Amino acid sequence: MAMKTSPNVAARTQYLSFAIAAEEYAVDILRVREIIEYDTLTRVPAMPPAVRGVINLRGRVVPVVDLAARFGMPPLPITRRSCIVLVEVAGDTPLVVGIITDAVSQVLELAPDDLEPPPAFGTAIGAEFLDGMSEAGKKFVMVLNVDRALAAAALQVPSEPIAAGGGAPEEEPA
C-alpha cells in the first residue's frame, strides 16, 4: 500500500542565496563546499572572460568564475562584501568551482512546490541555467543549475590558436 505525503510534509531543500549584479540567486546547499573571503586571484592567460583566475585552496587549484560575465553582463566590481562561494559541479570528474558574489544573503528552505519554472524571457540569464524561481519576500530568487551554468565545456577557451605576436597585423611597407 502506497503512503501519501501531505503537502505540508513535502521534502524541503535548503538553498544558499547570494547577490550577483543586484539580482538574487540560490544554489542547493548540498552543492556548496564552503564560502571564503574574496582574496587575490592568479590570472591565467587565454582563459575566457568569465574565468577571472584561480585560487590555491589547501593545495588544490580552483577556477573562479564571474557569473555576471558568464551571463553576458559587465564583470562584478570587487567590494569588501564580495566573497567566493565554492560549489561542486557534476561531470565525469566532479569539479570544485568558485563563484564570485556581491554578497551571501541567507539560507532558504524551499519545497518543490515553491519553485516556479523560469520565464523564457525577462531574466538577465538564459532559462537553461535555472532550475526555477521562487518568491523571497518582495523579490524573486533564481535557483541556478550549477551543472549547466558552470559546465567545464562552457568555460573552456575555443581551440583556435592565438595569432603569433598577438597584436594588430603588420602593415606592408610603401
Instruction: For residue 148, give the CATH number of its domain.
Output: 2.40.50.180
Stated pTM of the model: 0.79
The conformation of residue 120, written as its DSSP 8-state character, comes to S
pLDDT of residue 118: 80
Q: Is residue 164 part of a domain?
A: no
Question: Is residue 77 assigned to a domain?
Answer: yes
Q: Where are the beta strands (DSSP E) in the chain?
A: 13-20, 23-28, 32-37, 51-57, 60-65, 83-89, 95-101, 103-110, 130-136, 139-144
Do residues 147 and 90 lie in contact, with contact meaning Cβ atoms separated by under 8 Å?
yes
Domain count, the chain: 1
The predicted model gives 42-57 an average pLDDT of: 91
Range(s) of the domain holding residue 105:
13-155
Q: Does residue 54 form part of some domain?
A: yes
pLDDT of residue 165: 40
**Residue 122, pLDDT above cutoff 60:** no
Integer CA distances (angstroms), 25 to 37, 54, 153, 155, in order: 18, 22, 22, 20
